[in-house]
Chain A
Amino acid sequence: LAKTTQPISMDSYEGQEVNITCSHNNIATNDYITWYQQFPSQGPRFIIQGYKTKVTNEVASLFIPADRKSSTLSLPRVSLSDTAVYYCLVGDPRRDSSASKIIFGSGTRLSIRP
């Protein structure tokens, strides 16, 4: 399982775009990049997943360069409710295989201010 490195914490203000970068130099060919969000007293929640280039959904965008050794989670126009811990995970998400276990890194604690 590829190790990930991401900033321990970030601060921003409401209405700003926030970009959280994750490094994963040892990513394997079958690995996907997945981001989870965790609010206090809740389990992590899936945000977005990608393999290469760019993925966008209603919550965020995920940018992955050609070498796939890093990725950037982009949150457009954040609000106070986006204050949470964001985890970047790299692994093979095949269904029902031992490879589907998820190993969490330290995560990025994002604080949004008014």
Chain B
Amino acid sequence: SAVISQKPSRDICQRGTSLTIQCQVDSQVTMMFWYRQQPGQSLTLIATANQGSEATYESGFVIDKFPISRPNLTFSTLTVSNMSPEDSSIYLCSVARGTEAFFGQGTRLTVV
């Protein structure tokens, strides 16, 4: 299994500001994945973060809005920039271990 810690667990932010979400894994992994889950909806993949290279973003997501860092094999951050109320969601990080995926508890973001 994999233990994933996300910080913060929740936050309320003013529009126009930025929030950085941290994801720590208990062991080394090559790829980490960032998802967004809007209220009542399924999970949408934002990007894949590889250590030592730029993140790969899915259609509809751009680096300027969601910059990602991956400084080592156990840690990643996702920043939600210049936030608006539409960014209010749960943000989750995930890793693959064997044939399973493991998810953090998520960061519940509310933008006011």
Contact = CB atoms under 8 A, between A and B. Distances in A.
Nearest to B1: A46
B104 A43 contact: yes
Contact of B45 (A49, A93, A103): A103
B96 A95 contact: yes
A106 interface: yes
Interface of A: 32, 34, 36, 41-46, 49, 85, 87, 93, 95-96, 98, 100-107
Contacts of B98: 93, 95
A100 B96 contact: yes
16 contacts: A34-B101, A42-B105, A43-B92, A43-B105, A44-B101, A46-B101, A46-B102, A49-B99, A87-B42, A93-B96, A93-B98, A98-B31, A98-B48, A98-B56, A104-B35, A105-B42
B94 A93 contact: no
Contacts of A98: 31, 48, 56
Interface in B24-59: 29-31, 33, 35, 42-45, 48, 56
A112 B6 CA distance: 30
Contacts of A102: 33, 45, 94, 96, 101
Contacts of A105: 42
B99 A101 contact: no
B100 interface: yes
B99 A93 contact: yes
A46 B95 CA distance: 12
A74 B49 CA distance: 34
A50 B51 CA distance: 30
Contact of A106 (B29, B42, B92, B100): B42
Interface string B96-112: 11111111111010000
A102 B96 CA distance: 9
